Structures are given as structure tokens and as C-alpha cells.
Amino acid sequence: MIQVFYALLAGVILTPGACSRPQETSAEAQGEDPIVAEGQGGLVVRRSELEQLLLERFAYVQEGQDLFDLLFKTRLLDSLAKEGGVRVSSRSIAARWQDLDRRAREAGEKGIVDQIQKSGLSVEEFREYLRLSLIQESLTKKALGLGKKDEVTGAQQEIWLNGEIQERGVEKHPPPWEKGLIARCGDVTIKTVEYATFLHARLSRQKVVETAWHMLLIQALEKKLPDLSREARSRAIDLEIDRRRAGHAIRHPGVTFEQRLGASGQTLDSLKSDPSVSIAALTRAWVDRKYGESGLRKTYEDERELFEGRYGKAVQASVLLLIAGQFENELVPRNFEDADKELDTLKERAGDFADFRALVAQFTEDPKGREKQGLIGWVTRGDPRVPRPLREAVFDYLDTGGKVPSGGIALGPVRMETGCGLLWLSSVRESPSWEVMVGKVHEELRRRLVEELMPSRAVRIVERSPK
């Protein structure tokens, strides 16, 4: 099923670290709504709330569509097997298990169980997918008039299954799924509840944790702003939507904001109800209320070094890196003195930026740097992405009166912990106006508020034992 089983092994459908299928506890079986995530201050998220948001966020993105395809085809195969009188014996499953285990070991793996664990599946789930893959294989052979011992390829199985789907027809329902039904194909139906649970089980743990974090954070923000009226909150969200619409118009001319939302299965209403939008709106409202224009200016003046270091004067820079150390050894091909001499020689060959990029392509020993032709980008005095020695070399040069001509200039060599670098400075960008900087101050204060109320590291996904 998309050869389901082999796709799983290949990591196409599931990746290491994916959440395992949620197991029902006895409390769930009795209709309770269990807690699935906990955060700072005793705040919690319940399963139904989390799964509803996962459905709204991921149903129409590519990962969600892949998972829907998997769920739909597994359900359809069971229906087709029942219709065609096909059953897979435990002996057949055991034989295929042994074959796959042998092949895994021949490929240098520890065995099939090790691969199952890496995929994020339980052994029981894996056996179920193995059963379904054997059903697909048997039904394909039957449709093609092949014998039980005849070989059938994965492509043939997919062509057969897609043909069955086309013959029956698939009726897909768009959101908001008022009838609780996402799709129907013959007697096979996929309901929103089961698809949401499947997303919970199969989406990467990172996405599940992030979604739970947003839900906990919005609760914390609501407690922080208990007197914010419904009208004020609605206005804040509308303003946030307007900001996003304006940003979209700049980045995607020719495509309306609503068209882009529709392509991902969202509407303006669903976007307004998404916690990420409310978080942006409420953090902005809180900062505006607490600080105002004068408070933002005072924060900047009190922490000028921080804000100027991160967002102030910047230089467009590139670097050519040679690995070096205090002493040459098996892992370090040269000492610092030899690296400096090599870079001094290369510096004389760097007449312009094109020359420098050519030298980077030939000599740099930073693989990622080579991919980017040595480009670092805009470097500020306090840029955490850039090693301190490089930043200090750039701004020591500028602070002592150094100029960057229109064609650029080579600077260095500069010694770092892991080697020596030759810099190329292309242009200088002065510190932005207050109209721009105030946005950076606002952003930093919002970040601090989030860190105070609900840092992502404080979110705990509650693990539940199977019944």
C-alpha cells in the first residue's frame, strides 16, 4: 500500500522519532478525555483538544496528506480482502517476517526488530502492516491471474490498488467537516475523529509537542490578560491577520491571501482560531499595554548594546576557511602559522569578489561554506551565528577607520579555534532607523514574555501505558 510495508521500512511514511500509536487507557474506554500534555503553572491539554488542532493544522499539508493516504489505503485493503475472500494466515506472516529479518541482517542491520524500533512502530503494529502488505500482494496476483508462487512487483501492486480506488471513486469532503466525515470510497469511510487520532499517532513528535506548546502558551497568555475584553482580543487578532496579509502580498504577488490559505485547507476563520495567531496577537497587545512608545524607547536605551549588537550596523561578509591548530596532527593538516601564510598568498589573488568566490570554491575546507560560495550574510557586532574572532576582526577594522570600497575588500587572516579564515567584506549597512529598531525591541520583549510564561522546554507530553 504504496507498498505500505516496504515504504515503512524505507522510512518513507514514518521517520525515527515519530510518535507511536496512542493506546487507549481504561479511562478513555469509559469515555473520559485524558490529559496528553502538561506545562508550567499546572496548565494542561486534553486529547480531544490536541487532536482537533492537529487536524486543523495538518490535514491538508503534504505530511498530513501522506498520512491520510496511508490510513485510507489500509482501511480499503481490509475492505477489499473481505470482499474478495482473502485471508492471510499467521504462518504466512511468520514466513515473511523471517525473510525480512534475514534480508535486514544481510544488509548489515541488527535485524527486523531493530528496524521496527527505529521506525517508531510497535511490533504489533508492524505485524498488522505486514498482514496488509500480504493482502495487497495476494489481491494483486488474483486480479492479474497470477499463481501464488508468481512474483508481483511493488509497482504492479500500486497500479492495481489505484485502479480499484478509481473504479469505486473517492468522495472527499472539505473542512469544516460538519458531518464528521472526511472521505468515502464505497463502503469505506474515514471520519474526522479517527483521522485526527491517526495524525496524533503518526506526526513527528516535534510537531505534536509544538502544537501542545502553543495550546499551553495561549492558556498562560489568557491568564496574564484576564481583563482583556472579547472585543479587544478580536481586534488584536484582526490586526495580526492584517499584518500577515500585508507580508503575504510582498512575498507572493499575484496570489491572494485567501488562495494561499485555501491551498493548505485553511480559511480565515480557522486561521483566527489557531493558537499561533492568538499568541502573536496577545503578546503584541501585552507589550503595547505594558510599555507603550516611551517604554520601548527606554528599553532600547537601557539595553542599547544588546539591540545594536544584534540588529544594528552590519557588514555583508564571506569567508574562506582553512582548518588549522596549534600543532599539526592526523586530524589537523597544518598549524596556525602555516595557515596564515597560505591565506596571505590567497589574499593577494583576491582582486575582486569574483576572484574570492573562485578561491573559496577551490580552497575552503568548510563544506557548508563551499555550498554557499563562502557567503556568511549580514554580520552584526553581536551576531551569535558568527564566530567571535570573525566579528571582532570586522568591527575592529571599521571602528579604527577602515572603509569598505564599492567593490569590496579582503580582510585577514583571522585565527579561530578550529582554523584560520580569510574574509571578504562586500558592503556596509548602517544601523536602522528607530522606526525599524522599535520593531526589534517589541519582538524581543514578546520573546521574553513567552519565555517567562511557557518556555517550550517546560512542556511535557504525558506518556500513557496501554490498557
Provide mean pLDDT across the span 15-37: 55
Of 157, 178, 206, which one is at a domain's C-terminal end? 206
Q: Is residue 419 part of a domain?
A: yes
Provide mean pLDDT across the span 374-394: 95
Does the pLDDT value for residue 422 go beyond 80?
yes
Q: Is residue 320 part of a domain?
A: yes
Tell me: do 184 and 327 sit in the same domain. Answer: no
Pairing of strands 375-380, 460-461: unpaired
Q: Is residue 271 part of a domain?
A: no
Q: Is residue 226 part of a domain?
A: no
Which of 217, 213, 216, 218 is closest to 233 using CA atoms?
A: 218
d(CA 423, CA 411): 5
Tell me: do 189 and 335 sit in the same domain. Answer: no
pLDDT at 32: 82
Residues with Cβ within 8 Å of residue 156, at least 6 apart in sequence: 140, 144
Q: Give the mean pLDDT of the chain.
A: 88
pLDDT at 4: 41
- Check if the beta carbon of residue 436 is closer than 8 Å to that of residue 442: no
Q: How far apart are the first and last CA of the chain?
A: 29
d(CA 346, CA 297): 46
Which of 276, 320, 296, 352 is closest to 419 using CA atoms?
A: 320
Provide mean pLDDT across the span 321-333: 90
Range of the domain at 76: 4-206
Q: Is 173 helix (H, G, I), strand (E, B) or coil?
A: coil
Percentage above 90 pLDDT, the chain: 69
pTM recorded for the entire structure: 0.81
Q: Which residues pair with 410 in a beta bridge?
A: 424
Q: Is residue 197 part of a domain?
A: yes
Which of 168, 123, 160, 166 is closest to 138 using CA atoms?
A: 160
- Check if the beta carbon of residue 284 is closer than 8 Å to that of residue 292: no
pLDDT at 288: 94
Q: Is residue 190 part of a domain?
A: yes
Q: Is residue 38 part of a domain?
A: yes
Residue whose C-alpha cell reads 524500533 in the numeric block:
117
- CATH number of the domain that residue 418 is part of: 3.10.50.40
Digit-coded pLDDT (tens) for 336-361 = 999 999 999 999 999 999 999 999 99
Digit-coded pLDDT (tens) for 108-120 = 888 888 888 877 7
Q: Which helix (H) or strand (E) holds 413?
A: strand 409-415
Count of domains forming the chain: 2
Cell numbers that stand for 262 in this block: 485555501
d(CA 186, CA 122): 30
Q: Is residue 109 part of a domain?
A: yes
Of 188, 206, 224, which one is at a domain's C-terminal end? 206
Digit-coded pLDDT (tens) for 437-458 = 999 999 999 999 999 999 999 9
pLDDT at 67: 92
Which of 398, 236, 401, 250 is closest to 317 using CA atoms?
A: 398
Residue 52 CA, distance from chain mean position: 20
Of 206, 224, 259, which one is at a domain's C-terminal end? 206
d(CA 325, CA 416): 9
Tell me: do 319 and 182 sit in the same domain. Answer: no
Does the pLDDT value for residue 12 go beyond 50?
no
